[in-house]
Structure 1
């Protein structure tokens, strides 16, 4: 493997590990604010118990997100210097805006959120929770602005091979940004809904003694059931936007080789890029045309339209995009089925005697949002190839001239560390859930009382 491929794999591994944690913190901050507001309104300690448990999850996740983000950012200089040389005039300010408007906000108020419940007035602690949640969302906004600009660049001009901004409003609100932002925020919400439901289900299976696990479990289930239909609608709009601006990506997602109408929605196929055809197709007649054009006779672009004169493909790797898209959709459908069935059961029967198989299903799917998010991210990012900035900068033009063995050695180290950290993170979350189920949570305190935090078993 050459330096280009190894550098792509290394950056992909770094961003795959990093994205797991912001995907949780973006939405979990808002759920924590909901728990706090419910506690303020009702005085029910079960809401505060849920807050205290999941704020630990937030703190651990936030820490890993910060560390992995720093590691990833170094690679702009070490592995991809051509990126900043070509588009740094745009990428640099956007990354700086993220730090100035979001990261500092989170860093300042996170301490109050984590440790200030008994030390500051209740209104200030609630405000700190809101500002941390707002900061995580602003951080996602600026990162997605840059990512969207790389897919649908606007508001710039090229001078001597370097991109310069001519209209910052057009840069920020580029054609795909609103769709990508909404799609990602909803994905974060779904990820968090299943994390909350899964950990709460585990607490219930462990014989939760606090009573708050049922409350947080219902919150996670109904949040997932509410967000999934919205995500389906947002995904449809995002797909139509992608069809307009990145038709080659859509052709790869659908495994469609020839531009034509009445294109089936392929449920299964083995794309053969060498023969430029699919093998073992199983599909729904006219399905792709109906989804993408809202017309069974609608014409869908084909991959054969994106080939250079010398025969070089100018479209993304088909198999990777084709299958990652189906993994995303399949995982989303499983999340839809489980959340809706469970929501219906809770609506009719309540949670006095929860079905243990239902709880086990949620435990098994605690991190299903991670799988859907990664599959969607791969669809998006691999689908941009061979461009790093669509129509502006090719991927091979930005890679550093670093010996392949050096990239390989650091890649192996990264992978070993990331696997270890991920396993440790998941283990700690379930350890905390088991501990909380035994009632080993901090004793409820009066806001602003200054009382010391003591660990006591529930009676």
Structure 2
């Protein structure tokens, strides 16, 4: 099949748009949780540094949230434009799950977002904190439904096929399908880790510039504590996810490992190599005997099916996911190392003075998002050639379009996305370059309109959360 036919161009277009999109929800999920912690700490300690940090990072959150909403809307149109077959066959399930996300998460976020961003001085402290919590919870609910839909595509259950269409039979089985719990936790932790690295990189940059005020130092410290806690947990969850994938998507695991033959008595791990789909081998492989069995079966002689155990038309494209998985896993190890080194520097009292470590933190700033994107590429390419694994093939999911039509829309998407979202990313980086205000009393105060000051019913300092 030519690489520039309509189906491959449609896949490339969706990969391009979803890669742009997933960056911003990941930032929003992680930042929303971070903001909730900051405001909670401010309420508990009354330390204005936490409030200053909240003011600054809420701006980053707002930009990411806005771009996430815009980029997400576009993808809904793509389902109808390029993937009409998928929408027609599986829409009664995936469409409903995405609708639940809008009715629960999006409405919740939209309802409280304005209060969180603009409510300082206008509502009571507890009401504002509740709004921040609701926004953070809304991002998690959104993650829940999106991962439920995508996980159904990975490990479908709870459905029946009637007249060539997937019909829901058991919604609990559809939602809580075998891969869903692992993927939900894995994605949520990835979002928190990505946000923590952005915070650490921003603070590290300003430490290198000579700033030592409370907002910068505390941002650096809190981000590194988050990484120390979450990085090892993420590795543990990733291991459990791998065991689940081996059980339900064995061809994906074989492609990730570049494993062609089923090795009896213990499977080697290919550390590096070049998988060749035509030659059906991984060239220049550097192997470690039995390590594949230890990692993927937790036994010395565990057996893992090779790609030759599956028909050629059912094999994922190993050369891509072999390396995207290693990028994700390698960055994960670097993240853990950085968190441990930070702990050692903290104990030695050198955390804020080690310039080499601060440079490392700045370089690692985008690592969480890179690892997240690499993980999603591994997941989605590894599901091929299926849209719904084992049920609906990708070739049967596409719309009846020719390559020119899809290619034209892809070109338009590339131009518009780089202009619009490139501008948004530039603005976000500019905000981070400016950093939190060094003035501990910079929080803007609310000044009522003169017409309201004369109104006896207007009391700007009254709390509305006492009702």
* TM-score, structure 2 as length reference: 0.92
Contact 1:204 1:437 (8 Å CA) reproduced: no
Q: Which residue of 2 aligns with 1:319?
A: 319
State the 1:260 CA deviation.
Answer: 1.7
The 1:426–1:210 alpha-carbon spacing in structure 2 relative to 1, beyond 3 Å, is farther
- Equivalent residues in 2 for 1:276-287 (5 A)? 276-287=280-291
1:1-51 deviations in Å (ceiling 9; x for gaps): 110000000001011110001111112111100000110111111111111
Structure 2 CA distance, aligned partners of 1:381 and 1:73? Answer: 17
- Equivalent residues in 2 for 1:261-340 (5 A)? 261=264, 262-307=266-311, 312-340=312-340
Q: Which residue of 2 aligns with 1:397?
A: 396
* Residue 37 in structure 1 maps to residue 40 in structure 2: yes
Structure 2 CA distance, aligned partners of 1:45 and 1:286? Answer: 55
Which secondary structure state, in structure 2, belongs to the residue aligned with residue 349 of structure 1? Answer: coil
Match for residue 152 of structure 1 among 150, 155, 159: 155
Which secondary structure state, in structure 1, belongs to the residue aligned with residue 177 of structure 2? Answer: coil
Q: Which residue of 2 aligns with 1:361?
A: 360
Contact 2:56 2:436 (8 Å CA) reproduced: no
State the 1:296 CA deviation.
Answer: 1.8
1:213-271 deviations in Å (ceiling 9; x for gaps): 10011111110111011011101110011011000000001111011232211111111
Structure 2 CA distance, aligned partners of 1:134 and 1:264? Answer: 43
Contact 2:52 2:437 (8 Å CA) reproduced: no
- Equivalent residues in 2 for 1:3-82 (5 A)? 3-82=6-85
Contact 2:255 2:317 (8 Å CA) reproduced: yes
Match for residue 214 of structure 1 among 194, 197, 217: 217
Q: Give the gaps of 5 or more residues in structure 1.
A: 452-459
Structure 2 CA distance, aligned partners of 1:450 and 1:147? Answer: 46
Structure 1 CA distance, aligned partners of 2:43 and 2:376? Answer: 38
Contact 1:187 1:373 (8 Å CA) reproduced: yes
Q: Which residue of 2 aligns with 1:257?
A: 260
State the 1:347 CA deviation.
Answer: 2.8
State the 1:442 CA deviation.
Answer: 7.2
* Residue 240 in structure 1 maps to residue 239 in structure 2: no
* Residue 134 in structure 1 maps to residue 137 in structure 2: yes
- Equivalent residues in 2 for 1:168-207 (5 A)? 168-207=171-210
State the 1:179 CA deviation.
Answer: 0.7
Q: Which residue of 1 aligns with 2:91?
A: 88
State the 1:332 CA deviation.
Answer: 1.1
State the 1:418 CA deviation.
Answer: 2.8
Structure 2 CA distance, aligned partners of 1:139 and 1:31? Answer: 17
Structure 1 CA distance, aligned partners of 2:436 and 2:80? Answer: 46
Contact 2:55 2:443 (8 Å CA) reproduced: no
The 1:438–1:130 alpha-carbon spacing in structure 2 relative to 1, beyond 3 Å, is closer
1:305-345 deviations in Å (ceiling 9; x for gaps): 111xxxx4311001011111111111111212122212221
Q: Which residue of 1 aligns with 2:438?
A: 439
Which secondary structure state, in structure 1, belongs to the residue aligned with residue 11 of structure 2? Answer: helix
The 1:418–1:365 alpha-carbon spacing in structure 2 relative to 1, beyond 3 Å, is farther
Contact 1:208 1:438 (8 Å CA) reproduced: no
* Residue 162 in structure 1 maps to residue 165 in structure 2: yes
Structure 1 CA distance, aligned partners of 2:276 and 2:340? Answer: 37
Q: Which residue of 2 aligns with 1:143?
A: 146
State the 1:358 CA deviation.
Answer: 1.2
Contact 1:210 1:437 (8 Å CA) reproduced: no
Q: Give the gaps of 5 or more residues in structure 2.
A: 448-458, 462-467
1:383-418 deviations in Å (ceiling 9; x for gaps): 000100012110010111122112112212222333
Contact 1:45 1:444 (8 Å CA) reproduced: no
Deviation larger for 244-253 or 290-299: 290-299
Contact 2:49 2:440 (8 Å CA) reproduced: no
The 1:25–1:430 alpha-carbon spacing in structure 2 relative to 1, beyond 3 Å, is same
Contact 1:249 1:384 (8 Å CA) reproduced: yes
